[in-house]
């Protein structure tokens, strides 16, 4: 069976994707520098699938290390590239850290990989490239807007780099997956979201508030032009997202498919407001969440949700799990973490 390199494979989406790859019989090797994850995630993956993926702990900024990696692993059939810094707020304060970590590493990876006969490459991108889209739901044809953060800019630049590389390297087949808002955890509670430090994202902040690690959730703004005044996002269960990666990879490995660069939006196609996410959490957990309305957060867009027709029709993929499924799994995972 094909051997797949998963960079950032011990991260939130990466670890769930490794599980789905192993479930489909792929051989997996992970590169992760553990800057935003823990080695215990490797045990979690192994506990779920019964197969311990190969793992190499090094930083993709280490050009020599990467060269030696490909000399040791000269039979890789595809790469899923998750490894990147991803905190929007942090990227505003540390732009150079983000450009070095997200762009240089992509270039080094491509430099090592472009000499291979067939280069199948899946790029982890984000709906953040659309900014506040003029039309909702958002299709892949929606214009990429000037980035609202260096993090978002690194995703836009990453896609441009891949387009240019595909243009001159016909052996490259690339799929860029633009995620909306990944949430939830594997049903086994062996793996899930592991925000190190104060969570920036909504769902881990909700579950940490409910478990007592945080005092209160601040809802960043309830005066937006939406049905209940709070921002709308397309929250997709991380397991649905992981399964989409396996389907996209199988499409690349199928030699019949000759498109060199494709983009897919990965969302549920439904928007949910912050208050609706809170209500979903309270419904599935039976907990009353302690929250207050606070000032808007700089950089937030009002409403974002995906038009998923292209992924549904061309990938044959559709999200199956609901917001309640995701909140239930996130809560179960938080309760498990609190017992560790």
Catalytic center residues: 151
Q: What is the DSSP letter of 303?
A: B
Residue 270 in contact with ligand WQD, rule: CB under 6 A: no
Site string for ligand WQD, 299-328 (x = CB under 6 A): -x----------------------------
Shorter beta-carbon distance to ligand WQD: residue 98 or 172: 98
Residue 274 in contact with ligand WQD, rule: CB under 6 A: yes
Residue 205 in contact with ligand WQD, rule: CB under 6 A: yes
Choosing from 4, 79, 133, 202, the residue that interacts with ligand WQD (CB under 6 A) is 202
Binding piece for ligand WQD, criterion CB under 6 A, among 75-83, 92-100, 200-208, 237-245: 200-208
Binding piece for ligand WQD, criterion CB under 6 A, among 16-24, 189-197, 198-206, 332-340: 198-206
Residue 233 in contact with ligand WQD, rule: CB under 6 A: yes
Residue 231 in contact with ligand WQD, rule: CB under 6 A: yes
Binding piece for ligand WQD, criterion CB under 6 A, among 16-24, 38-46, 97-105, 218-226: 218-226
> Which value, to the nearest 10 degrees, does the dihedral of the CA atoms of residues 111, 83, 23, 122 take?
-50
Listed in sequence order, the residues at least 6 apart from 220 whose beta carbon sits closer than 8 Å to its beta carbon are 231, 274, 294, 295, 296, 297, 300
Residues 62-91, interacting with ligand WQD (CB under 6 A): 86, 88
Q: Which residue is nearest to ligand WQD (CB)?
A: 231
The answer to whether 335 and 211 have CB atoms below 8 angstroms apart is yes
What is the rounded distance in angstroms from the CA atom of residue 137 to the CA atom of residue 106?
30
Shortest Cβ distance from residue 215 to ligand WQD (Å)? 12
Shortest Cβ distance from residue 64 to ligand WQD (Å)? 29
Using alpha carbons, list the distances in angstroms from residue 23 to 12, 18, 133.
17, 8, 36
Shorter beta-carbon distance to ligand WQD: residue 91 or 173: 91
CA neighbor of 306 nearest in space, from 179, 206, 148: 179
The answer to whether 293 and 219 have CB atoms below 8 angstroms apart is yes
What are phi and psi for residue 183, nearest 5 degrees?
Answer: -145, 170
Residue 218 in contact with ligand WQD, rule: CB under 6 A: yes
What is the rounded distance in angstroms from the CA atom of residue 233 to the CA atom of residue 202?
11
Q: How many binding residues for ligand WQD (CB under 6 A)? A: 19
Residue 208 in contact with ligand WQD, rule: CB under 6 A: no
Choosing from 201, 226, 322, 335, the residue that interacts with ligand WQD (CB under 6 A) is 201
What is the rounded distance in angstroms from the CA atom of residue 148 to the CA atom of residue 168?
30
Residue found by looking up tokens 């980035």 in the block: 147
Shortest Cβ distance from residue 109 to ligand WQD (Å)? 18
What are phi and psi for residue 94, nearest 5 degrees?
Answer: -130, 60
Query: Given phi > 0 = left and psi -120 to 50 = alpha, else beta, which region is 160?
Result: alpha
Number of H helices, E strands in the chain: 12, 13
Residues 113-172, interacting with ligand WQD (CB under 6 A): 126, 128
Binding site for ligand WQD (CB under 6 A): 86, 88, 126, 128, 179, 181, 200-202, 205, 217-220, 231, 233, 274, 297, 300
């Amino acid at each position: 069976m094909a051997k797949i390199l998963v960079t950032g494979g011990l991260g939130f989406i990466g670890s769930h994707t490794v599980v789905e790859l192993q479930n489909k019989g792929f051989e997996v090797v992970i590169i992760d520098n553990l800057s935003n994850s823990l080695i215990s995630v490797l045990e979690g993956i192994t506990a779920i699938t019964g197969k311990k993926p190969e793992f190499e702990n090094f930083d993709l900024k280490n050009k020599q290390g990467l060269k030696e990696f490909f000399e040791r692993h000269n039979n890789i059939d595809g790469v899923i590239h998750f490894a990147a810094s991803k905190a929007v707020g942090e990227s505003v304060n540390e732009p150079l850290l983000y450009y070095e970590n997200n762009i240089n590493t992509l270039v080094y990876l491509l430099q090592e990989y472009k000499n291979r006969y067939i280069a199948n490459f899946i790029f982890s991108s984000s709906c953040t490239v659309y900014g506040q889209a003029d039309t909702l739901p958002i299709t892949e044809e929606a214009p990429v807007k000037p980035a609202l953060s260096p993090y978002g800019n690194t995703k836009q630049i990453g896609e441009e780099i891949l387009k240019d590389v595909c243009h001159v390297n016909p052996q490259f087949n690339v799929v860029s997956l633009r995620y909306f808002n990944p949430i939830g955890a594997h049903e086994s509670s062996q793996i899930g979201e592991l925000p190190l430090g104060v969570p920036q994202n909504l769902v881990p902040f909700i579950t940490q508030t409910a478990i007592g690690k945080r005092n209160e959730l601040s809802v960043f703004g309830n005066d937006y032009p939406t049905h209940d005044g709070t921002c709308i996002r397309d929250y997709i269960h991380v397991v649905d997202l992981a399964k989409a990666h396996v389907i996209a990879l199988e499409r690349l490995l199928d030699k019949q498919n000759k498109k060199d660069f494709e983009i897919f939006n990965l969302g549920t196609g439904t928007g949910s407001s912050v208050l609706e996410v809170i209500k979903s959490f309270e419904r599935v957990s039976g907990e009353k969440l302690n929250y207050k309305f606070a000032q808007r957060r700089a950089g937030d867009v009002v409403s974002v949700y995906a038009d998923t027709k292209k992924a549904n029709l061309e990938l044959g993929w559709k999200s199956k799990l609901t917001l309640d499924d995701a909140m239930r799994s996130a809560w179960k995972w938080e309760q498990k973490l609190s017992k560790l």
